[in-house]
Structure 1
Amino acid sequence: MTDKIYAPAIRTQHGIVRGIWQTGSSAAYLGIPYAAAPVGERRFQAPRPPEPWMGVRDATAYGPTPQKRPFAEVTAIPEPSIPGEDILNLNVFTPAPGDRLARLPVLVWIHGGGYFAGSPASPWYHGRSFNENGVILVTISYRLGFEGFGWLEGAPLNRGILDQIAALHWVQDNIHEFGGDPGNVTIAGQSAGGGSVLALLTSPRASGLFHAAIPMSSAMDMLDIQTATSVGESLARHFNILPTEEEWRHISGEAFLDAERLYNQIPDYSVPFDVREALQLYAKGRITNLAFRPVVDGDILPYHVFDPDALTNARTIPVLIGTTRNEFSFASQNDTPSSEALVDEFVAMGLRHVSIQRFVDEIDRIGRERAWSQLMTSLMFRVGLVRFTHGRRRVGAGEITWTYDFAAMSSRARGSFHCHDIPYFFNLLSAPNVEQQLGSDLSLHLAERMHQLICHFVTYHSVPYPPASHNASGAIRLQPPIRYDDLAYEFERDLASVAGLLDENTDNGGTA
């Protein structure tokens, strides 16, 4: 067994921590509390500062996780559940521990998992590759499910977002001790983590805590407070209690977990097998049926991500945003419309030939049995991206907005699906379970190039490709060889236009 090589002891505002060298250029400080354990009277309240500790705290192992049960029996990403109460903690990977003069750029990673699962302790989120490129990585935990996002009387909504904001405050106050620059912080996340990044862009409470953003594969769905209240009341009735904080504190964690997922869905939600009706449903913001997710509450999150005020307030923040080409484009059931029927409907709706051809080409790539689910991927993820970048153009942030389209094909799954971009983002193709998910024909060159692109953005808040002001549908195509594709989101832009989601007469594309 190899002996541990301890990294230097670092003094944070709440006490001293000692980490471990995991490679010659990457020291890990794991499980550092950024807030007090949310138990007892703190269970449903905003996060509070952690209790200071005496002596040197061991930070060589991941701390307890908010996730107590995994997303599913089998998950794409290995995300361990670690028991314990002190769940509001973070992990710092740094090449320059204790060097306050290093002032390295900082990337804060927010994990996904549908806002009810996920773990910052995944080997897919290790920071060694970022450290090798002079970037400090911080991975954070946050309360999940009902405890993080559910409504109850006497407690703030969006507690999971408040946790993320508390973690960002910790970074501002402490990261210089780990060699980081608190004036150069980028936030990034995938799936629910990407949605969290977008939510933080709308929150006045997060203002000044980060300086660039990378939302990845976000459905861009935020809940209204009326629906959140209704679901919270229903869950309380399940336990035969009043929906108050005091009564909720008496419901044990295990009993709660048994019921939580039964109520983590909006009642009577379904997507019609009709293109126009489905498009209108998504146009109204009904993108997923998850009930525990960020809520437009008028306080912590006063605006929806598409609201002009939210876009205006974030117009000085550089953004690199993208999706995978096929996200949730899995084989559909027999009763879904055929690819031919969809094309006929697109023609009847007035979509242009060039846009329809992009859809047809993609179906030829992944299989006709995936035609309907590929349309769902476009509606759930890619139309929202077009709408967001369009809004950024309108408020003058087009010059500091870039888009990507991850299209590297998995040899195992015949497509570019949800989570497939993460090992490339982190340049960790050798991490556990990557080959099982993506196949053996992995592109080391793409991983290195994509990772360098991300490191460049984190460091300089720009990338050497045309911004959104240059082309409303273009994106960096992340597929060997990396190149700029002028028509990457052309199909989705036509869909958004037909749905009336784009006010193209006032789109000036201007500069920030």
Structure 2
Amino acid sequence: MTAVATTRQGTVRGRTEDGIAAFLGVPYAAPPFGPRRFAAPAPAEPWAGERDATAYGPAAPKAPYAPPFDALIPETSEAGEDCLNLNIWTPEPGPGAGLPVMVWLHGGSFSNGSANSSGYRGDAFARDGVVFVGVNYRLGTDGFLHLPGAPDNRGLLDQIAALTWVRDNIAAFGGDPDRVTVFGESAGAVAIGQLLAEPRARGLFRRAVLQSGACHHFVRPETARKIGESMASRLGVPYTAEAFAEVALPELIAAQDALRGDFARRPDPAVWGDAALNGMVFEPVADELRLPGPDLGVDLLVGSNREENLLYMVPTGRLLTISEGRLVRGAQAYGADLDGYRAQRPGASPGELLQAIVTDWFWRIPAIRLAESVPGSHLYEFAWRSPQFDGELGACHALELGFVFDRVDDPDYLPMTGKDAPSDLARTMHAAWVSFAETGDPGWPAYDPKADRATMVFDAPHCGTESDPRAAERELWTGVR
């Protein structure tokens, strides 16, 4: 069956299955190439008649993940220039339903990923009474490289354009523009951390969920220039937006991938500035850390996974090869109290200690700092351990995604979750996200740094609220992170 909705640009025709309508590849802005290359997003052009919205549109051009991550995080979407589009799932297409809206920003280190992954289908959210919107936005050089003559953070500007489109059009799909929750994971959550402090995003969403990402990851302008100059040198072109626009897209993508390779092999702060510890070449550009504070006016749900960094240490074999010297140097670079971690984890190997330090520095402490800065925020931790890699993968980065989307049996998630992931945990976690979008309450007390620091721990066979998990390790970062 078909479904029809009318936007400000024109009418779109989607497909209905099992009572849920899907509208795919709907443009929210004009293609950001040709004369619009490296510019802020422009409004989508209107069209006549019904626009087919039964197949995914193009995703942002990019290189695939490097091995072994290409096998763990499949990249299956087709890329193309008309990449500023979104996908909508709704149980009630048509105005008047007034349903809560959830807008998804995918992860991928600002260089990979797309909203078109089968793991990001929004039918489970629509099944539970939510209008779901997945957003494709510019990545890598086009989205986040600092270029003289171009606005910074073009990928963030795309997200703001998408949220503006949602405000103006989502009622036609059954959504309430005054009940929008933006949620994202990894780079998507980091992006939301920046949007929380961005005046142009003010009023575009009422609630936000940040999974494994917060406000601490960005590059300062001087670092952004270093990275841009390195890219220009690799391409052999002047360091200007005009010169970059003349480079053929395949050549640009190849150079972008090579730059990431250089960074991964030698993340030297003397070369890469403050990006070295962040682990990403492409990031939002900002002058300073901006925590939103008590006057934010947005409800927050924020958290991380218990063993995030195992994703980067187990498949590569690094967990077993970290030496004592490498551990000491790493702890010094992150400003960590290594003796404090040793005291809390007697018998832990150098790799296990470094994993714990990096997980806290990169993910857990930034989530806590954000929750501390906005009274009434809710904090969670995902603790279920994957059986993959002989159980060593643990509660790693991105593992929670299949649970949030209630799609743990999706082929995109199986390399991380295995075949017998607990469906009860998926239903519980997914329901908490839906409840938060509907009411601002995910089902457990708010995080209060002056009281018990209540944290929901998602695990199987039991979930429950804990008071200040691993408090001693959290306290090691006071005044440091």
Pairwise same-fold verdict (TM > 0.5): yes
Equivalent position of 1:389 in the other structure: 371
CA offset at residue 351 of structure 1? 4.3
CA offset at residue 372 of structure 1? 2.0
Deviations for 1:435-473, whole angstroms, at most 9, x for unmatched residues? 332123311111111111110001111223121226464
Equivalent position of 1:426 in the other structure: 405
Checking the alignment, whether the CA contact within 8 Å between 1:38 and 1:47 is kept in structure 2 is yes
The residue type equivalent to 1:168 in the other structure is L
Structure 1 residues 239 and 335: CA distance shift in structure 2, 3 A: closer
Q: 1:120 aligns with which of 115, 121, 127?
A: 115
Equivalent position of 1:295 in the other structure: 285
TM-score (norm 1): 0.83
Structure 1 residues 77 and 472: CA distance shift in structure 2, 3 A: farther
Distance 2:325 2:15 in 1: 55
CA offset at residue 388 of structure 1? 2.3
Q: 2:459 aligns with which of 454, 466, 479?
A: 479
CA offset at residue 30 of structure 1? 0.1
Identity within the alignment, %? 34
Equivalent position of 2:98 in the other structure: 103
Checking the alignment, whether the CA contact within 8 Å between 2:229 and 2:239 is kept in structure 1 is yes
Equivalent position of 1:327 in the other structure: 308
1:79 is the counterpart of 2:75 = yes
Structure 1 residues 202 and 336: CA distance shift in structure 2, 3 A: farther
Deviations for 1:399-449, whole angstroms, at most 9, x for unmatched residues? 2x0111100111224211111100000101221143332123311111111
Equivalent position of 1:455 in the other structure: 434
Equivalent position of 2:128 in the other structure: 133
CA offset at residue 379 of structure 1? 1.7
Tell me the SS of whatever aligns to 2:210: strand
Deviations for 1:124-172, whole angstroms, at most 9, x for unmatched residues? 1111111111011100011000110111121100000000000000000
Checking the alignment, whether the CA contact within 8 Å between 1:475 and 1:489 is kept in structure 2 is no
Which shifted more, 135-144 or 65-74?
65-74
Equivalent position of 1:278 in the other structure: none
Distance 1:61 1:18 in 2: 10
Q: 1:255 aligns with which of 251, 255, 273?
A: 251
CA offset at residue 373 of structure 1? 1.9
TM-score (norm 2): 0.88
Deviations for 1:244-288, whole angstroms, at most 9, x for unmatched residues? 2222211000010111123347696359xxxxxxxxx99x88632
Deviations for 1:36-91, whole angstroms, at most 9, x for unmatched residues? 00111201000000111111000000000104332235243333231332110000
Equivalent position of 1:25 in the other structure: 19
Distance 1:52 1:311 in 2: 40
Equivalent position of 1:56 in the other structure: 50
Structure 1, unmatched stretches of 5+, are 272-280, 298-302, 502-512
Q: 2:32 aligns with which of 12, 19, 38?
A: 38
Distance 1:34 1:174 in 2: 10
Checking the alignment, whether the CA contact within 8 Å between 1:228 and 1:295 is kept in structure 2 is yes
- How many residue pairs were aligned? 461
Structure 1 residues 52 and 476: CA distance shift in structure 2, 3 A: same
Structure 1 residues 234 and 352: CA distance shift in structure 2, 3 A: closer
Structure 1 residues 79 and 334: CA distance shift in structure 2, 3 A: closer
Tell me the SS of whatever aligns to 1:456: helix
Q: 1:66 aligns with which of 60, 65, 69?
A: 60
CA offset at residue 237 of structure 1? 2.4
- 1:35-434 matches, within 5 Å, as 35-73=29-67, 74-98=70-94, 100-218=95-213, 220-264=216-260, 269-270=267-268, 287-296=277-286, 304-306=289-291, 310-312=292-294, 314=296, 316-329=297-310, 330-331=313-314, 332-337=319-324, 351=340, 356-357=343-344, 359=345, 370-390=352-372, 392=373, 397-399=374-376, 401-413=377-389, 414=391, 415-434=394-413
Structure 1 residues 189 and 151: CA distance shift in structure 2, 3 A: same
Structure 1 residues 262 and 452: CA distance shift in structure 2, 3 A: same
The residue type equivalent to 1:237 in the other structure is S
Tell me the SS of whatever aligns to 1:450: helix
Distance 2:326 2:30 in 1: 53
Structure 1 residues 335 and 87: CA distance shift in structure 2, 3 A: closer
CA offset at residue 496 of structure 1? 1.2
Structure 1 residues 500 and 177: CA distance shift in structure 2, 3 A: same
Equivalent position of 1:509 in the other structure: none
CA offset at residue 292 of structure 1? 1.3
Deviations for 1:285-342, whole angstroms, at most 9, x for unmatched residues? 8632322110016xxxxx5233xxx33552x211111111111123424343399999
Distance 2:362 2:62 in 1: 28
Structure 1 residues 372 and 13: CA distance shift in structure 2, 3 A: same
Tell me the SS of whatever aligns to 2:278: coil
Distance 1:204 1:87 in 2: 25
Checking the alignment, whether the CA contact within 8 Å between 1:194 and 1:216 is kept in structure 2 is yes
Structure 1 residues 437 and 352: CA distance shift in structure 2, 3 A: closer
Distance 1:107 1:129 in 2: 12
CA offset at residue 193 of structure 1? 0.7
Distance 2:327 2:111 in 1: 37
The residue type equivalent to 2:177 in the other structure is P
Equivalent position of 1:274 in the other structure: none
CA offset at residue 231 of structure 1? 1.5
Checking the alignment, whether the CA contact within 8 Å between 1:28 and 1:60 is kept in structure 2 is yes
The residue type equivalent to 2:223 in the other structure is T
Which shifted more, 367-376 or 485-494?
367-376
